[in-house]
Each structure stands twice: as C-alpha cells, then as structure tokens.
Structure 1
Amino acid sequence: MSDILSQGIHNLGVALASVLLVEDDVFTRSTLAAALAGANFEVRAQVGKASDAIQAVVKYSIDVAIIDLDLGPGASGIDIAIALREVNAGIGIIILTSYTDPRVINPHSTPLPKGSKFVTKSHLTDFGPLVRMILELKALPLSGQTGKRSERVNFSATQLIVLQGVAEGLTTKEIATRTGVSEKAVEGTITRLHSMLELPKKPSLNPRVQLARAYFELSGKKPPGA
C-alpha cells in the first residue's frame, strides 16, 4: 500500500477494514492485533476458540477473518472458516499456517470456502502482502471462484478502494477524500479499472455503472436495496 494512501486514511481516521483475528497463541494474537491496528484496520474481536469466533461474526460486522489453521485439539481453522461463511456469506477468509503447503497436515481435509487465501506465518515479517490481501478480500471475498474475471486482475490497494467507492455511489471528490489522492488520480484509476476488467466501451454504457455491476458480481455481495 502506498505511503500516500496510508497517510491519507490515517489522517482521516478511517479504518481500512474490520477484522476478526482467530489465534490460540496469546502472544501471536496480541502482536498481530497491534500490527493490524497500527495499519489502520479495526480489529473487532480477537479470540482463540471456534465458539468465540462464531459469536463475534454474529455480533459484529466483519469484513475479513484471519484464522490460524492449527488451533490445537478441536475445530481446525478450516472448520471455523466454513462455519463463519455459513453465518456471513460475504466474509473474506485468510488462513494463517506454519506450512508452505497446508495440505501436509491433512491431504484429504475439507476444502476451504471459495476465495479463501493462505498466508505462511514466516512471511508476516513483511506486512505489506497481508495488508493488500485483506483489502482485496474486503472488496472481493469470493475472488477465488473459477471463471471470475478477478482471477486475471492484480488490483492495487488504491484500485480496490476506488472500485468499492464507485460501487457505493460515491462522487469522485468523495473517493479522493477516502483514498487521500487527487480527483484526477481517481478518474485515472476508474479508467484503468474499466480496462483491467475488460468492460465494453460503448457511448450508451455508463462506465461507473459497469464498474459497480462488476464489483457486485466479483464480490458476491448484493447492491443496496436488492
């Protein structure tokens, strides 16, 4: 995420996304929660058990859940991910694992919910990729679905926030305020998004309406009032 975007949002006091953290190790949980808060994410709850995770999703509006794969005896991170998606069909899922390939735990384990992503704990020393992953899953929680255009698109943090703003019906000025960039930069991003998503260019089609429809298609979310 660019320093300009991060600083702009920090100055506005706007949380980038609301997060649930599920990790049984207290030190790891508190350290990661502090890092997320420092990166302008709102950690709505940090828990160590499956039951507490489900209660948190019922109680709070949460964009992305970050879940440790191995929580000791009982439900695994995959079990919790599936349960959370049943409660909130639009929640993004990130699985933390100590393994480069999590299948080493159980090659025949239950498949993860669509769009779920893995992060190896050893890679958390570089926080940037996790930040970008959270933003991507907030905007497009089901982006791992087969055949979705998002699989061919590598969105930047700014592009994701602009795409969300367009889908919410915000003006260029409002999106610029949210991202901390100029209105001209927002318009340029909208043009690039239109091209990246391979949307048709016709005088009769409104580019913003097209982007909004693409956002709801990719995210699996419903438009307001739908």
Structure 2
Amino acid sequence: MSTPAHDEVRVAVVEDQPLFRSMLERSLGEQPGLRVVTSVATVTEALRTLRPGSADVAVLDIDLPDGNGISLGVTLRRRIPTLGILLLSAHDAMDLLLDLPPDVASGWSYLSKNSSTSEELLVSAVRATAVGKTVLDPVLLDRVTPRAGSDVARLTQRQYEVLRLLASGLSNAGIGERLGITEKSVQNHVNALYATLGIDADPARNPRVSAALRLLEETGPAV
C-alpha cells in the first residue's frame, strides 16, 4: 500500500446507525483533502458499491445488520488490495486485528466509538490508514500494560512511551513534540525498540505496522 496517486483521499463509510453515519459524513467531508465517495449501512450495499479504484480507505462499523465489518474488510481488501480499513466499534475489540488473515493483515486501524470521539483523531486515523499505516486507539492503549516475560516488557519506559505513540499513528516529529524531545532522539528510540522486538527495518514490510501489532499482541489490561 502506498500514498494515493491523486490529490484527495477518497473515503467510504459503512455504518448502520443513521445519526453516527451522518456525523462521519460531515466530519470527514468537511476536511480539506478528504472526500466521502460512498456512505452505506450494510455489508450488501458496501459490496455492491465498492469497486477497485473507487476509494482509498473504508471506515467500517464492526457490528452491521447483515454481517460484520471485519469479514467485510477482508473481502474488500482482497477485492481492492490498496484499500485501507479503519474499524469502529462500541466495544473494545482491538485484539481482533491479531486474527486477520496474513494476506490482508497490513493497513488496518481501530478506534473505539466510546473513547475516541475526537474529530482530529478520526481524521488523522483516516489519512494514516489510507497510506497503509496502522493506528490503534490511544485511549485503549493507555489502559494496557506489557505482559510479563514479553519482548515489549523489556523496553525502557521511554521506548515503551515511543512505541505507544507510534502505534497511535503519530509521526516521529509528532512523538517528539508530545514528549518534548528531538526528532533525532525519537528515531534513536524507534531503532532501539525495533532491535529489542526483533523487527526487520525493511520498509517493504512497514516496521511501524509490525511494531504496533507487537504492542497489541504483548500487552493486556492493566491490573
């Protein structure tokens, strides 16, 4: 997956709640560089309207009246390999990203409807997901802690902070601004955490996505 060849990010919305769907249409449609190209309520409608070349990212509710957003996302990604998938749910179902089939596992993001209601976060997640990045709900990430004995547990406190912000979709510059450190320092921390986690820095495999998924895999609810 790569940056769309055109100037705008084309967004498809699949959400069965009319009020929330209208909110998504308005919030995304008013953003410069974003255009909502289709907005439907069901799996059936999504499969009928979404074709190769029609959208760059699909915002999918997980719970739909005639199916679920995860299965829909898998089908759409196999039909449109460049399509980014942003899942929305009223439940904490972020771990479902770990069960995706390997052939479509990159370029998926997850936000909770309950915790991540910020328009800024939604828009940034859509933009990031459209170019193949993975964005995990930052509020839900704040509620987890590394599992004992895991590689993530071996990270320093600063490296763990950087990993969590990276998984929230922030760039190195954005992480540096949030933590009050230089972008160069952020890159050093990123390189160190990649080494600790054994992540190959081959850009073809998108190491930031791999790191985000490792964070999801090796953490659990804080006790």
Output the TM-score relative to the length of structure 2. 0.54
Corresponding residue to 1:63 among 56, 65, 82: 56
Corresponding residue for residue 111 of structure 1: 99
Answer yes or no: is the 8 Å Cα contact 2:92–2:112 preserved in 1: yes
Moved over 3 A (4+): 141-144, 155-160, 191-198
2:206: which partner in 1?
218
Cα separation, partners in 2 of 1:55 and 1:158, compared to 1, 3 Å: farther
The Cα of 1:129 is off from its aligned counterpart by 1.7
Does the Cα contact within 8 Å between 1:92 and 1:142 map onto a contact in 2?
A: no
Partner Cα distance (2:135, 2:31) in 1: 23
Q: Structure 1 residue 23 and structure 2 residue 15: aligned? A: yes
The match for 2:37 is 44
- CA shift, 1:131, in A, is 1.7
What SS does the aligned partner of 1:58 have?
A: coil
How far did 1:54 drift? 2.1
Aligned position for 1:134: 126
AA matched with 2:49:
A
CA distance 1:141–1:110, change in 2 (3 Å): closer
Uncovered stretches (5+) of structure 1, i.e. residues with no partner: 1-13, 145-150, 161-188, 199-212, 220-226
> Structure 2: where are the runs of 5+ without partners?
1-6, 137-161, 175-182, 192-201, 208-223
Alignment of 1:1-226 (within 5 A): 15=8, 17-40=9-32, 41-58=34-51, 60-72=53-65, 74-101=66-93, 111-112=99-100, 113-115=104-106, 116-141=108-133, 154=166, 156=170, 214=203, 217-218=205-206
2:85 is paired with a residue of what secondary structure? strand
Q: Give 1:122 deviation, angstroms.
A: 1.9
Per-residue deviation at 1:82?
1.0
1:208: which partner in 2? Answer: none
Between the two proteins, the alignment pairs up a number of residues equal to: 154
Q: Which has the higher strand share?
A: 2
Q: Percent identity at matched positions? A: 20
Q: Which is bigger in relative contact order (C-alpha 8 A, separation at least 6)?
A: 1
d(CA) in 1 for partners of 2:27 and 2:46?
20
Residue type matched to 1:114 in 2?
A
